[in-house]
Amino acid sequence: MLNLFVMRLLLLVSFVINFLTGWFSLKTQLDLVRILSPQKGDVLQGNIDIIGTATGIGFQYAEISFRYQKDVPSEWFLISQISELKVDDFLLTWDTSSIVDGDYQLRIQAFYLDGHHIEAIIEDLRIRNYSPVETIVATNVSPSSLLSTKQPSQVMTSTKEILEYATPLPKNELTVEIGDISNSAFQGSVIGVLILIVIGLWLILRERKIG
C-alpha cells in the first residue's frame, strides 16, 4: 500500500516538474528572418554582401530574392537559397551589375517543416552601376547662409531631391532578457524544493515501513 502511494506521489511530482520546465524554459530558437544589410535607401554597386538572420525550429531553407520596386506587385527573382541556420551573419553575395539600374526590393523568405513560412522585405534599394547617384540636397537653405559660408563649391544641386532617414537596427529577438533569467532561477528553486519534499516523504515512509 505504501509503495503504491509513493509511486503516485512520484508521478504527481514528475508531472509538476515537467509542467514548470515547459512553462519557464527559455526559447533557444525563434522563428526569425531579417536583413541587416543592405538597408532601405542604400545605394548598391557591384557585389553586395547580404547580412541577416534565418533561423527557427524546424527550419528547412531560406530564399533570397529581388524585384523591381516600380512594378510592385511583380514577380520575385531568386538570387540563391541557403540551407544553414544563420543569426546576423553573412548570407550570400549579390552581383547587382547583372541587372538594370533602378529601385529594387530585397526579400528573405524562410520555410519550415510544419509547412509555414515567414519573410522580411527591404525596400528602396537604389542600384546605380551605370547611372549617376542622386545627390542629397539640403532643404530650407537661405541665400544669406550660403554667402556666409564662402564655400560655394560645397553647395551641390541635383535634378532629384532625395530625403533619407537613418534606419535603426531592429531589436535582436534572440537576446536573453533579465526577466527570463529570473524565471529560470525561480524554476530551479521550485524544482529543488519539490525534490527535497519527495526525498523527505520517502524517508518518512521508509522509516514507518521498517518500524
DSSP string, 150-168: --GGG----SS-------P
Sign of CA dihedral 128, 103, 171, 95: negative
Name the least confident of 2-6, 8-12, 168-172.
168-172
Higher pLDDT, 26 or 181: 181
Model confidence at 154: pLDDT above 50: no
Model confidence at 64: pLDDT above 50: yes
Is the separation of the CB atoms in 50 and 35 below 8 Å?
yes
Can you give the pLDDT at residue 136?
A: 61
> Starting at the edge strand that comes first in sequence, how are the strands of the sheet with 86-95 ordered?
32-37, 47-55, 86-95
Can you give the pLDDT at residue 5?
A: 62
What's the average model confidence in pLDDT over 79-88?
96
The C-alpha atoms of residue 105 and residue 3 are separated, in whole angstroms, by: 68
Higher pLDDT, 121 or 142: 121
Can you give the pLDDT at residue 159?
A: 37
Model confidence at 35: pLDDT above 90: yes
Can you give the pLDDT at residue 132?
A: 93
pLDDT band at 122 (very low <50, low <70, confident <90, very high): very high
Which of 5-9, 52-56, 71-75, 203-207 has the largest mean confidence?
52-56
Can you give the pLDDT at residue 80?
A: 96
Is the separation of the CB atoms in 94 and 148 below 8 Å?
no
What's the average model confidence in pLDDT over 93-104?
96
**How far is residue 88 from each of residues 41, 51, 152, 171, 180, measured CA to CA in Å?**
20, 6, 43, 12, 22
What the block records as the C-alpha cell of 115 is 509547412
The C-alpha atoms of residue 50 and residue 89 are separated, in whole angstroms, by: 9
What's the average model confidence in pLDDT over 30-56?
95
Sign of CA dihedral 74, 78, 84, 88: negative
Can you give the pLDDT at residue 17?
A: 65
pLDDT band at 47 (very low <50, low <70, confident <90, very high): very high
Is the separation of the CB atoms in 106 and 50 below 8 Å?
yes
